[in-house]
Amino acid sequence: MMLSFLLLLSLAASHGSAVTTKLPASYAIWAADSAISRGQGDGLGSNGAPLVSYEHGEFQWALRLLYEKTGNRTYFDYIQQGVDRVVTQNGTVIGGYGFTTDYQLDPIRTGPTFLYLYGVTGQEKYKIAADQYRKQLETQPRTAQGQFWHKLRYPNQGWLDGIYMGDVFYAQYTHDFQAWNTSAWDDIQAQFTLMYRNTLQNATSPPGLLYHGYDYSHTAIWASPDRGHSPEVWDRALGWYMMALVDTLDIFPRSHPGHDTLLSILRDLAPRVRDAADATSGVWWLVITQPGRTGNYFESSGTAMFVYALLKGVRRGYLHNDGFVSAAKKAYGYMTKNWVIGDTNGTMNWLNTVQVGSLDGNGTFEYYISVPTDINDLKGLAAFTLSSIEYESV
Ligand SMILES: *[C@@H]1O[C@H](CO)[C@@H](O)[C@H](O)[C@H]1NC(C)=O
Ligand SMILES: *[C@@H]1O[C@H](CO)[C@@H](O)[C@H](O)[C@H]1NC(C)=O
Ligand SMILES: *[C@@H]1O[C@H](CO)[C@@H](O)[C@H](O)[C@H]1NC(C)=O
Ligand SMILES: *[C@@H]1O[C@H](CO)[C@@H](O)[C@H](O)[C@H]1NC(C)=O
Ligand SMILES: *[C@@H]1O[C@H](CO)[C@@H](O)[C@H](O)[C@H]1NC(C)=O
Ligand SMILES: *[C@@H]1O[C@H](CO)[C@@H](O)[C@H](O)[C@H]1NC(C)=O
């Protein structure tokens, strides 16, 4: 069945050799079906118990787009089955969701799926579940400037990751239920701009990318004395932020000045991201700030996120195509050649996604390169699915 997506392509004719290579008709479908066949992103943890997971939220977003594109109900059913494992009949969110005990932004990434299912099915439990996330944001601890703390146990810290985890939901919820609420839109805009200003590499650092995070109190072990930012630019953190920009721009009302603010941040960052790619391969280093340094390597999740954000940015008209599409296509070619490996049973494996990158430790280059990579890590595989959906829409 899986093989029905494989297009036998003989290169023999063009190359004058006997080499035969199989290419899938759609990498997006191949990636999604492979993850589904492994039970990835299904609302359960590896121990079989319900689990609220931002990776599942990211994958569900890709499945939603794939469902809308193909009309294949399998994808919708998989989303709903996964969510029904963490949202009970009365709308309570289970699966380790802490709310006031830990105030994490990560679980909120599943919120856009709740809102989507509410929109499609009208079932009240999904709205009740989304309301709990919205309530969390209402009392989420903040810096003196108003940035959400990434977690209760990381006081005063803003991480780029948190923008994708918390604020795409915040925007979708506001769009769906409180479109009139100007202070909510002001606040969403502030989450993006505070993060941008506080993590931006300053004028003395030419690339102008974003450090992984900052500590407004400057007390974290990694915080720079002058501005409190962490020392390195980690590819996936910037990838989350870039994806959040293009996804939130779809939702943010054009009549509010925040739309133009987000747009100008995207337009500032996109050329710098494009130019930060490795010139030969076209993909991005794990630690973008240290290209070529021993131990650094080309990382697949961040690369896939940049490809998604650049292609979508152009497709939606947020970016004028200034070499973005060709840069993304070059990176995409490297991804499919080097990080996609067909399995004998017809599924595909996804390589080279770093397991985690946290500001829990010392935030140094040595830390980032010490974290192992995984095969079929859903954070990367979901991003590859997203980038493939975009690539196949061009
Ligand atoms: C294909 O094989 C891999 C291991 O090589 C396994 O993890 C996966 O579950 C298999 N998928 C199917 C659909 O049999
Ligand atoms: C829908 O997707 C599933 C999983 O890939 C596949 O088995 C099925 O054949 C597809 N259905 C249609 C109508 O294409
Ligand atoms: C909702 O259901 C869960 C179990 O499914 C139960 O533990 C909880 O008490 C219920 N909450 C309310 C408000 O009924
Ligand atoms: C509007 O949004 C603000 C900021 O999130 C929030 O504090 C307020 O409760 C919202 N208004 C209503 C009526 O929900
Ligand atoms: C730029 O950042 C570096 C490193 O954080 C710092 O040493 C320098 O003082 C900053 N310069 C300005 C103009 O903020
Ligand atoms: C930072 O942590 C890494 C491991 O996570 C370690 O290898 C390195 O020595 C530490 N660096 C400093 C300066 O403490």
Listing DSSP states for 27-67 in one string gives HHHHHHHHHHHTTTTSSB-TTSSB---HHHHHHHHHHHHHH
> 370 CB less than 6 Å from ligand 6?
yes
Which ligand is nearest to the Cα of residue 88, counting in written order? 3
Q: Residue 364 belongs to what domain range?
A: 5-40+142-391
Q: Are 222 and 359 contacting, i.e. CB atoms less than 8 angstroms apart?
A: yes
Q: What is the pLDDT of residue 117?
A: 98
Q: What is the pLDDT of residue 146?
A: 98
Atom of ligand 5 minimally distant from the CA of 202: 1
CATH code: domain of residue 188: 1.50.10.10
Q: Does residue 291 belong to any structural domain of this protein?
A: yes
Q: What is the pLDDT of residue 351?
A: 98
Question: Which of 92, 125, 131 for a ligand 3 pocket mutation test, highest count of atoms within 8 Å of Cβ?
Answer: 92
Q: What is the pLDDT of residue 13?
A: 31
> 10 CB less than 6 Å from ligand 3?
no
Q: Does residue 125 belong to any structural domain of this protein?
A: no
Distance CA 367, CA 25 (A): 39
Q: Does residue 97 belong to any structural domain of this protein?
A: no
Atom of ligand 3 minimally distant from the CA of 92: 1
Q: Does residue 192 belong to any structural domain of this protein?
A: yes
pTM of the complete model: 0.94
Distance CA 23, CA 300 (A): 20
Count how many domains the chain has. 1
Atom of ligand 2 minimally distant from the CA of 72: 1
Which ligand is nearest to the Cα of residue 76, counting in written order? 2
Q: Does residue 277 belong to any structural domain of this protein?
A: yes
Q: Does residue 383 belong to any structural domain of this protein?
A: yes
What are the 10-residue block averages of pLDDT along the chain, 394 residues in total?
Answer: 36 34 87 98 97 98 98 98 98 94 97 98 98 98 98 98 98 98 98 98 78 98 97 98 99 98 97 97 97 98 99 98 96 98 96 98 98 98 98 91
Atom of ligand 6 minimally distant from the CA of 221: 14
> 92 CB less than 6 Å from ligand 3?
yes
> 181 CB less than 6 Å from ligand 4?
yes
Atom of ligand 3 minimally distant from the CA of 91: 1
Which ligand is nearest to the Cα of residue 125, counting in written order? 3
Q: Does residue 109 belong to any structural domain of this protein?
A: no
Question: Which of 38, 350, 351 for a ligand 1 pocket mutation test, highest count of atoms within 8 Å of Cβ?
Answer: 38
Distance CA 364, CA 268 (A): 26
CA nearest neighbour of 162 among 359, 309, 301: 359
Q: Does residue 46 belong to any structural domain of this protein?
A: no
Q: Cite the beta strand spans of 344-390 per DSSP E.
A: 348-350, 353-354, 373-374
Q: What is the pLDDT of residue 202?
A: 84
Q: What is the pLDDT of residue 90?
A: 97
CA atoms within 13 A on the CB side of 348: 28
> 343 CB less than 6 Å from ligand 1?
yes
